[in-house]
Amino acid sequence: MNKLLKKYPNEIEKILSRYPADQTRSAVMPLLFLAQREEGFVPSDTLADIAEITGISETDITSVLGFYTLFHEQPGGRYYIQICTDLPCALRGSEEYLETLCQKLGVKEGETTADGLFTVEAVKCLAACHRAPMFQLQGDGEIKYYEDQSVEKTLAVIEALREKAKQEAANG
């Protein structure tokens, strides 16, 4: 049984209608977004559903999922701090920056802080190579770039977001 299709028949029909009948593979990205929408990550059992709908292999879908930083394979925090550690950024100290930031936050790369707010990930090139260390912040429906970072600057961003979450909790 295709659970994704059963849950979102109309939306999936609408997505597929954007592509020629013999090009359903083109629908893989919007289908992954649909699968991710509710829980904030793509549950592994939906890969077979998407494979069935698009006619492409689960392995190919897993490759797409792993390639794009906007898709998440595991549950994560409210915010994703995605630090580029590709070679040009590594040459500008991004690996040390990532390691120190993780230490300060009490997590390992890929983990989420104890308050559930921040998942820290190492990612590939984000096209800001000359401004490393840099990270992309995903959360609250936005993506923002933070460039020329130091651990101190990033911790200040994190504290501001923690404060925002506290205020929201206090205001109910």
User: Residue 85 has which token pair?
Assistant: 């550690």
Nearest approach, Cβ of residue 133 and ligand FES (Å): 9
In the list 88, 96, 116, 160, the residue contacting ligand FES (rule: CB under 6 A) is 88
Nearer to ligand FES, 9 or 88 (CB): 88
Query: Cβ-count burial of 103 within 10 angstroms (0-12 exposed, 13-18 middle, 19+ buried)?
Result: exposed
In the list 48, 129, 143, 157, the residue contacting ligand FES (rule: CB under 6 A) is 129
84 binds ligand FES (CB under 6 A): yes
Residue with tokens 């559903």: 49
Residue 133 sits at φ, ψ, to 5 deg, of -65, 140
Helices 46-54 and 28-37: angle between axes, nearest 10 degrees: 150
Span interacting with ligand FES, options 23-31, 33-41, 95-103, 126-134, rule CB under 6 A: 126-134
122 binds ligand FES (CB under 6 A): no
Helices 46-54 and 58-67: angle between axes, nearest 10 degrees: 110
CA distances from 37 to 9, 26, 60 (A): 15, 19, 21
DSSP 109: T
Nearer to ligand FES, 19 or 146 (CB): 146
125 binds ligand FES (CB under 6 A): yes
Nearest approach, Cβ of residue 57 and ligand FES (Å): 30
Nearest approach, Cβ of residue 43 and ligand FES (Å): 30
**Residues near ligand FES (CB under 6 A):** 84, 86, 88-89, 125-129, 132
